[in-house]
A and B are shown apart, each in its own frame.
Chain A
Amino acid sequence: MSGYLESQLIILCLATIYAYGIFLPAASGQLNLGAAGFITLGAYASAWFNASTGAELPVWLSVILAMMFTGTIAFVISFPILRTRGVYMVLATFAFAEVVAGIVINVEELGAAAGMPVDAHLDVTVIVPMTILVILFSFYFMSTRLGLALRSIHDDENVATLFGVNVRTAKVVAFTVGAMLMSLGGSLYGHHYNYIEAQTFNVLLSIYILLYVLMGGTQTAWGPLIGAAFFTIVPEALREIAESAGLTWLAEGRFMMFGAFIVLLMVFRPEGVMTRTLQDRLGGGLFRRKKQVLDETAANS
């Protein structure tokens, strides 16, 4: 694999992991704009656990401990944050991310504003399997009864309560597990590029990740994968095509076109590219065809 393709694949993998971290709470209707905060926590925690100036632990243990550390913080802050709803939750999670960045920038042991070098290196052979694992885990998670409860909470919180769903617990679990996935993504980022600084994990990153999820669709576990893939591949692909065809206007204006495309997507697919109905239509279509073939063979025999 060429270096360029490999670097693009890493970006796609990290974006996918981040997106699933935001998707789990989003599936129950919670909008989390604090992705950068959890990614920062994961990246810095695992860098510190692993560093020769820190705890000097093996890299795999550092990544796991970082997830537990981020998970604990997410669990604690989820109680006040989950009292807020809608746009107020967006603001609360955004504020959390800003606080994390503010703290990291002022701690000398973490390199402050100059950033922090990371010791152990993880390459594509670790990151790709981890990404696949995250995707499989998310599909499993959403297929459980807990996942069903989360989707019910998204539709009607009060009715879910009356059928015995502990809404608070379900939301806390989704928020915390999502934060742990983002922590994993942050750790992988740090150990791949071997250098982290708080400014990389800014609000723009949080916005992009939330967009991946909302554009991809929050109703099925396919959404974040489609959203992340679309947002990372299409701008690059447009650039490749434009450059090879010598279209400078396309190469320079591709983000404008991309922006216009997002607006159109929001108009025509307000619930995201992959909705439950679309999934049924795709899956059902295959099933029907198969059944038809079976029926025909039965009729012929």
Chain B
Amino acid sequence: MTVNVLEIAGMHKSFGGLKVIDDVSFDVRKGSRTALIGPNGAGKTTVFNLLTGVYDIDAGSITVEGENITNVPAQDRVTVGMSRSFQNIRLMPHLSTVENVMLGQHARARKLGSLLYPLGMLPRNNWRIAAEEALENAGIGTYPGEVVANLPYGVQKRIEVVRAMVSDPKLLLLDEPAAGLNQVETGQLQELLERVSDQGVTILVVEHDMQFVRDLCDYIVVLNFGRKIFEGTPEEVHRDPAVLEAYLGTDDDTEAANAS
């Protein structure tokens, strides 16, 4: 029996008169590495924003691990077991690397005692050690005390993944993690994500780099103009006419020839 970690049913969202997400439904299997792809403006990032509660959905439901979170406020959704990274790096520029990672732990430390625990004063406390270990495991343990604004782009991208991971998510949402990375950095990122996946964390990734998607993912959902036009395996996606049309456009001559 396959179990779904995320179930999206009949999701709608409009901004003003513009339908951005139009009746989108799909499931993410537990332990899978699912990709959400589509041309620019298809609504991929909007799906992430709806899942994490940045916007409220107009209709439909979101279920994580069997729990309906449609009406759960944004700040509580991370405690359900869902964590994300961002398309444009959104680390806190004035915090050090390890402090950024410790922010990721916040979901697990919302009791009063944990909130009043002097993280900064005790150099060897459990939270800090855990954060440093998480960085170490991701292969970026060399700069824990450094303010993130000064670090290379590829390292910052990986810190975002680590920050999302330390909240102990069951589902990790990654918004274009490989965008702007060179080949070496993409390789390091992929290695990190494979390790995360091996730990049993489900990954849902938005990405334009198709090579990266093929190498990493075992299931693909395609959006176009806010509608789901395909879901299936990476092998099938290249043969699907609707997907080819969305990415490459139609050839009028071929259509005319077919029609006649």
Contacts and interface: CB of A to CB of B under 8 A. Distances in A.
Contact of A148 (B77, B103, B110, B150): B103
B106 interface: yes
Given A142-B120, A156-B90, A156-B92, 19 more contacts: A139-B121, A145-B117, A145-B119, A148-B102, A148-B119, A149-B103, A149-B106, A151-B94, A151-B99, A152-B92, A159-B90, A160-B103, A163-B83, A163-B106, A163-B163, A164-B76, A164-B78, A165-B106, A276-B94
Contacts of A280: 96, 145-147
Nearest to A155: B92
B153 interface: no
B116 interface: yes
Interface residues of B, number: 41
29 contacts: A139-B121, A140-B118, A142-B120, A143-B118, A143-B120, A144-B115, A144-B119, A145-B106, A145-B116, A146-B115, A147-B120, A148-B99, A155-B92, A155-B94, A156-B90, A158-B54, A162-B75, A163-B83, A163-B104, A163-B167, A164-B78, A164-B106, A165-B106, A166-B75, A276-B147, A277-B147, A280-B96, A280-B146, A280-B147
Interface in A115-138: none
Contact of B74 (A146, A147, A156, A161): A161
A8 B104 CA distance: 45
Contacts, number: 98
A160 B100 CA distance: 10
Interface string B108-137: 011000111111110000010000000000
Nearest to A276: B94
A142 B104 CA distance: 17
A151 B95 contact: yes
Nearest to B166: A163
Q: Pick the most buried of A146, A148, A219: most chain B CB atoms within 10 A of its CB.
A: A148
Contact of A219 (B79, B94, B167): B94
Contact of B167 (A143, A149, A154, A164): A164
A284 interface: yes
A284 B145 contact: yes
B120 A162 contact: no
Contacts of A140: 118, 121
Interface in B235-259: none
Contacts of B84: 162
B88 to A, nearest CB: 11
Contacts of A165: 75, 103, 106
Q: Pick the most buried of A145, A166, A219, A280: most chain B CB atoms within 10 A of its CB.
A: A145
A271 B114 CA distance: 30
Contacts of A166: 75, 110
A112 interface: no
Interface of A: 139-140, 142-149, 151-152, 154-156, 158-167, 219, 276-277, 280, 284
B224 interface: no
A163 B95 contact: no
Given A142-B120, A159-B86, A151 B78 contact: no
B64 to A, nearest CB: 14
Contacts of B76: 164
B107 interface: yes
A281 to B, nearest CB: 10
B202 interface: no
Contact of B79 (A154, A155, A164): A164
Given A140-B121, A142-B120, A148-B119, A154 B103 contact: no
A52 to B, nearest CB: 39
Contacts of A162: 52-54, 74-75, 77-78, 84
8 nearest A-B residue pairs (beta carbon): A143-B120, A164-B107, A155-B92, A164-B78, A143-B121, A143-B118, A164-B106, A146-B115
B187 interface: no
Contacts of B118: 140, 143-144
Contacts of B75: 161-162, 164-167
Contacts of B66: none
Contacts of B52: 162
Given A140-B121, A162-B52, A163-B167, A146 B103 contact: no
Nearest to B74: A161
Contacts of B119: 143-145, 148
B93 interface: yes
A106 B33 CA distance: 69
A167 B106 CA distance: 12
A154 B99 CA distance: 14
Contacts of B96: 276, 280
Nearest to A168: B75
A161 B53 CA distance: 10
Contacts of A164: 75-76, 78-79, 106-107, 110, 167
